[in-house]
Chain A
């Protein structure tokens, strides 16, 4: 008799659907069916049964992989971290907060740079939030209150498939009983996306000129005149959209990579926040980042709590955390050849980074920690397989609106395969051993002397 597990969280996108029903086989080892999820979410569960390695694989001099034990892999990783002058630990899009905290412990001990996928994704949102605040809300509030929704530079129809049906456009909430009939949808995107198909108004902004259009919106909100056409959008269309926004009872701007990945980056988000603030002079408006992975909000929450910064953490001075994207961000570090070892965990840097930084990182030891083979594992010196969070490993994840959710596992990981947290705890222990060995070998260091001690 197959077992049905209800209210399972989905380990795919930032919407973190927690209403999945997963059917597992009698012995609890196979996933038979996944209900309620989108096709991508269901693939994450079904793929748990294929393409799995149960032992780490180390690159040999002839270029092939050889399976080694976990102890050997942990020793190799600890030695790489110990010997490097500035190692980089990057990833964390697809793991739990427990794993992130354990990795931060390792990074601090190793004097590494700790970065997450936000670095090439919503990192610019963090910079804007530092500069300008974040008048946000939860997705529950959007569902129950919002009557005007703006998707700016985001295409949830493809990237967050259940976002519109669970929270923004279609659900009937407490004050939104008419569902989509009671809501106005504005989509601003250079392309006529599938999300734009369901919009009441689609403004086709000229690519890379969102900032100019936001400036026009703000100028109109304050009652000033604007040129006849701004960023490819007619003045009348802008005035019409602003009018709808001002008359909303509760509105939310959801923005995505269209702002974070076009010219200006953090400034596009920054001015979107300014517009949200302006609109609050008239009615209630909120703004939310369409975070990508199911727990990419997690490292921001965990590391902000640990170090005061959400990403691009330079821990080379160990007790002083330094953060400045442009210098301490992964792609910049790689491009400037500022790091000499790379650990890629819970993401695929080889697939997501531009090719040039990948080539430069590849000159140094590259270790990938991931349940499945991917592009990064295939160019790595070492691939360490781990359990899949949300399928085989439980843990806390943060939804895109910063709401923490406790995920469960539905099956057990393959025998002997650890979770990210266990793996990092073991690397940490080995790293401490290496440091102790070093300290024992060197003569005891004298107390530090001032520069003028000889006088």
Chain B
């Protein structure tokens, strides 16, 4: 695997849109070629080399290409958007849409990220060592098929609207989550190791949510049905099992109604 290291030498005045910073676009290119790829600052289209210094070269394919981003990328959006393979490491913070619509490969952000990261995700891995903003692993506006697959792991806290319209895949939040988790969910799994503020599983049809801490304002549409022992993220624990959202429509499979499940740790 070949590594391309890009360092933000001249930070933008506004924000940079770096949708071209993906292993797919860097593969098969030398440093000078990578520096000519487009980035946007508002309406201004510039070559990547205007802001970043580029070292190394891409591998033959996306899967053989690793990108390391250095410098303060707090104002760089859309890193790894729609990537299909390969690896990206962001040494510090990053802005919005990191790993948005990603299909494969791995992104590791060592700092915090802003909102809309991992939206519309279909596969791959998005690891965030810090906190994530709002709409983590959510669906794009107006899209009723949200996250389809892949794994998002956030060590810190997440904002609100996590996993809206989730359809598949797994989101693991090490800290707390704000309001609205898996709203309109139709599948997938969300694991919250800390507390959830409220509106967990609202309008949810199918899927699972595990909350290790407390849910401050549980929804009236969820009903306690018993206790279960489950293996979650490599460890087994006992959970109280709720089904719902009883206010929402639910499909019937083999004569049995399918509900969404919330498990809170006992």
Contacts and interface: CB of A to CB of B under 8 A. Distances in A.
B134 A224 contact: no
Interface in B102-145: 115-116, 134-135, 140-142, 144
B240 interface: no
B135 A86 contact: no
Contacts of B140: 324
Contacts of B50: none
Interface of A: 84-86, 110-112, 127, 130-131, 209, 211-212, 214-219, 221-222, 224-227, 230, 263-264, 267, 270-271, 274, 278, 316-318, 323-327, 336-340, 451-452
Interface in B182-234: 183-184, 198-199, 202-203, 217, 219-221, 223
B251 interface: no
Given A85-B14, A212-B217, A452-B33, A317 B40 contact: yes
B191 to A, nearest CB: 21
Contacts of A339: 14, 42
B217 A209 contact: yes
Given A212-B217, A212-B219, A270-B203, A340 B247 contact: no
Contacts of B116: 324, 326-327
Interface residues of B, number: 40
20 contacts: A85-B43, A86-B41, A212-B219, A215-B221, A218-B221, A218-B248, A264-B179, A267-B161, A267-B199, A271-B203, A316-B42, A316-B43, A323-B141, A324-B141, A325-B141, A326-B115, A336-B15, A337-B14, A338-B15, A340-B13
Q: Which 4 A-B pairs have the closest CB atoms?
A: A218-B247, A111-B43, A86-B42, A130-B142
Contacts of B247: 214-219, 221-222, 224, 274, 278
Interface of B: 13-15, 29, 33, 36-37, 40-44, 96, 115-116, 134-135, 140-142, 144, 161, 165, 179-180, 183-184, 198-199, 202-203, 217, 219-221, 223, 245-248
User: Most chain-A CB neighbours within 10 Å: which of B144, B198, B219?
Assistant: B219
A221 B220 CA distance: 13
A86 B14 contact: yes
| Residues of A contacting B: mostly | loop
A131 B220 contact: no
Nearest to A209: B217
Nearest to A278: B247
Contacts of A112: 43
A325 B96 CA distance: 12
A327 B96 contact: yes
A337 B11 CA distance: 14
A222 B244 CA distance: 12
B134 A326 contact: yes
A211 B221 CA distance: 11
Given A85-B42, A224-B223, 17 more contacts: A86-B42, A111-B43, A127-B141, A209-B217, A212-B198, A212-B217, A215-B220, A219-B220, A226-B221, A267-B199, A316-B40, A317-B43, A324-B116, A324-B140, A326-B116, A339-B14, A340-B42
A436 B264 CA distance: 64
B203 A274 contact: yes
A267 B248 contact: no
B161 to A, nearest CB: 8
A270 B40 CA distance: 34
B51 to A, nearest CB: 13
A224 B247 CA distance: 8
B134 to A, nearest CB: 7
A263 B161 CA distance: 11
Given A131-B144, A267-B202, A451-B37, A212 B220 contact: yes
A338 B142 contact: no
A215 B141 contact: no
A263 B202 CA distance: 14
B202 A271 contact: yes
B194 to A, nearest CB: 19
A413 B140 CA distance: 45
Contacts of B223: 224-225
Given A130-B141, A270-B203, A451 B42 contact: no
A274 B115 contact: no
Contact of B43 (A218, A219, A318): A318
A44 B60 CA distance: 68
User: Most chain-A CB neighbours within 10 Å: which of B14, B43, B223?
Assistant: B43
A131 B246 contact: no
Nearest to A226: B220
Nearest to B32: A454
Contacts of A327: 96, 115-116
A215 B180 CA distance: 13
A130 B141 CA distance: 7
Contacts of A267: 161, 180, 183, 199, 202
A451 B30 CA distance: 10
Nearest to A238: B220
Contacts of A216: 220-221, 247
A264 B179 CA distance: 7
Contact of B41 (A85, A230, A270, A324): A85
Contact of B180 (A130, A225, A264, A323): A264
A323 B183 CA distance: 21
Contacts of A336: 15
A131 B199 contact: no
Nearest to B29: A451
B179 A219 contact: no
